[in-house]
Structure 1
Amino acid sequence: MARLHLWLTDDAPASRWQAQAGQAFRVARSFARSPLAMLGALIILVLVVTALFAPWLAPYSPVGQNLGERLLPPSWAHWMGTDELGRDILSRVIHGTRITLLIVVMVALISAPIGLVIGAVAGYFGGWTDRVLMAITDVFLSLPKLIMALAFVAALGAGLQNAIIAIAVTSWPAYARIARAETLTFRNSEFISAVTLQGASSLRVISLHVIPLCMSSTIIRVTLDMAGIILTAAGLGFLGLGAQPPLPEWGAMISRGRSFILDQWWVATMPGFAIIVVSLGFCFLGDGLRDVLDPRQREGR
């Protein structure tokens, strides 16, 4: 172990592999020094594990009804109680992690690449290309995300797939702005000029040099935006525009439980608590990634 530590922390690495491994080790060590970042990583790890093994972790069926056990308070038989149809809330919350994880992953996979490419192209070319792309971006940024998502879902129709598309369409402008700002800082750098003089096309420069340099900032912003994506998805579900019954979506569960909030508080409180915990986990994780991946944060410490 001592030799491995010395190999990873060597100031003069003998190969690219050693340099990359050493950099990854330093990033992981810096990340592990933040208690809140580790707490966030633990919450997200629990979320992923719960989503993967939901059928085995849930004690009951998430959609099975038992009217003889409706609105039971939390007990040893039902740790989070039951809802108005006698369904076990814990089982529904556990299976709801799959829907939540699906939404955040799909939105990130759709919106982040779109925003990254648009921002990199705008920053690299400048001129009228920059003005047109940023004008479109500003139009999207000028409207609240939830309002725009509601408009898109209303046009596309209610459903989980349409909710994902609507949230993704409203999320890309922030990534485009970040990528453009990053590109403007190095588009006239010597290494970009050297690559261009070697005959590289604009497509090659953007795809192989500009976009990779913008990745760290984009990853940080994506992680920080996960909480907002979860809240937007829960808002759509609360209004009946997201995942449709009987899918155990947390926002829809809160919507159905609001009628019983005074007497059977657990029906709406338990999925709301899950939303809060997962959102905080992504916020803590995003803050930790910003501290270890953002060079300006490292310089300020």
Structure 2
Amino acid sequence: MAGAPPLPQPSGLQAWLLSPEPASRWQARLGRFYLGWRGFTKNPLAVLGLAIVVLLILVAIFAPLIAPYSPVAGGDLRTQRLLPPSETFWFGTDDQGRDIFSRVVYGSRITLWVVMLVAVIATPIGVLIGTVSGYLGGWVDTVLMRITDIFLAFPRLILALAFVAALGPGIENAIIAISITSWPPYARIARAETLTVRNSDFIAAVKLQGASTPRIIFGHVIPLCISSVIVRVTLDMAGIILTAAGLGFLGLGAQPPMPEWGAMVATGRNYLIDQWWVAAMPGLAIFVVSLGFNLLGDGLRDVLDPKAAK
């Protein structure tokens, strides 16, 4: 259009990141990250989800500095039992006179610990099974996928309950049970991604160079599955939190006096009519953190999904 002002050109660090001819692989990776971050920040709900997750991490790290009282030591049952929210006890107190705000703050550590361990345990298992199944095919694919179907046939919480009942109550056994029930979706995603690339030209070229099957799977196939798996893991965080809270609610997760949010809700259900804050505050924490992970997962899907419209 005649007379239109020229578009501003990037300068400085931005120009270096957006260079069409990067001088190194590191510069190219930083450029892709910068473009992804710009796309991510265009979604305000995704930024809100990221803020909630970052807040959860900060609260978990600095819990001793944030919490004004001990999360496990009870107060005076004559004067501090079941007090409503106030300036002294922001979230009120429970049936043992303990400050609910302090217990919610320390409970973020347990929640974050469960989420991290389940992701670290379940994700590699699912990705490995899915890529091996999709790349090798044949009877290996049939056997591994039928095992995956067996796990997918049961609701996650029900299957986790069965494993915890066999292993015994406790936060460690709950993490193991949730991990055992969480890997099948990752295997399905990794297999689907592998089926789309196993007959690609670059895989054939790597084979011609004499690369072994493990090298092809670990060096070329798995990296292509990572972005889709990361999105699914982030979206599954809310389900992991709810499953852990469900086990705690049933008394099979973290044991008293640990400040686990599900167990706190279970305690508060006895006082739900008159002392609603005992169950509502940890329940609200579960809701907010689960919402944050869902919003973050949606934003990452828009950025990392190679099939999404740009």
Bigger drift between 181-190 and 7-16 goes to 7-16
1:136 equivalent to 2:140? Answer no
Cα offsets for 1:189-225 (capped at 9, x unmatched): 0111111111111000001111111000000000000
Quote the Cα distance in structure 2 between the aligned partners of 1:36 and 1:234.
25
Quote the Cα distance in structure 2 between the aligned partners of 1:152 and 1:65.
32
Quote the Cα distance in structure 2 between the aligned partners of 1:36 and 1:144.
29
Bigger drift between 193-202 and 233-242 goes to 193-202
Partner SS for 2:90? coil
Bigger drift between 263-272 and 26-35 goes to 26-35
Which structure has the bigger radius of gyration?
2
1:192 equivalent to 2:220? Answer no
Task: State the TM-score, normalizing by the size of structure 2.
Answer: 0.95
Letter in 2 for 1:34: N
Quote how far apart the aligned CAs of 1:18 are: 1.6
5+ residue gaps, structure 1: none
Quote the Cα distance in structure 1 between the aligned partners of 2:25 and 2:74.
58
Cα offsets for 1:9-65 (capped at 9, x unmatched): 112222212211111110111111110010000000000000001011100000111
2:35 is matched with 26
Q: Which runs of 4+ in 1 moved over 6 A?
A: none
- Return the match for 1:284 from 295, 298, 305: 295
Letter in 2 for 1:76: E
- Return the match for 1:108 from 106, 112, 119: 119
1:42 is matched with 51
Cα offsets for 1:50-84 (capped at 9, x unmatched): 00010111000001111130000000000000000
1:13 is matched with 22
Quote the Cα distance in structure 2 between the aligned partners of 1:104 and 1:142.
23
Aligned residues: 299
Partner SS for 2:12? helix
Letter in 2 for 1:49: L
1:59 equivalent to 2:68? Answer yes
Task: State the TM-score, normalizing by the size of structure 1.
Answer: 0.98
5+ residue gaps, structure 2: 1-9
Task: Please report the RMSD computed on the Cα atoms of aligned residues, expressed in angstroms.
Answer: 0.8
Superposition pairs for residues 1-301 of structure 1, below 5 Å?
Answer: 2-66=11-75, 67=77, 68-297=79-308, 300-301=309-310
Letter in 2 for 1:58: A
Give me the identity figure in percent: 66
Quote the Cα distance in structure 1 between the aligned partners of 2:52 and 2:296.
9
Quote the Cα distance in structure 2 between the aligned partners of 1:105 and 1:18.
30
Quote the Cα distance in structure 1 between the aligned partners of 2:246 and 2:279.
14
Letter in 1 for 2:34: F
Quote the Cα distance in structure 2 between the aligned partners of 1:25 and 1:284.
20
Quote the Cα distance in structure 1 between the aligned partners of 2:11 and 2:67.
43
Quote the Cα distance in structure 2 between the aligned partners of 1:165 and 1:16.
39
Quote the Cα distance in structure 2 between the aligned partners of 1:205 and 1:95.
44
2:6 is matched with none
Partner SS for 1:30? helix
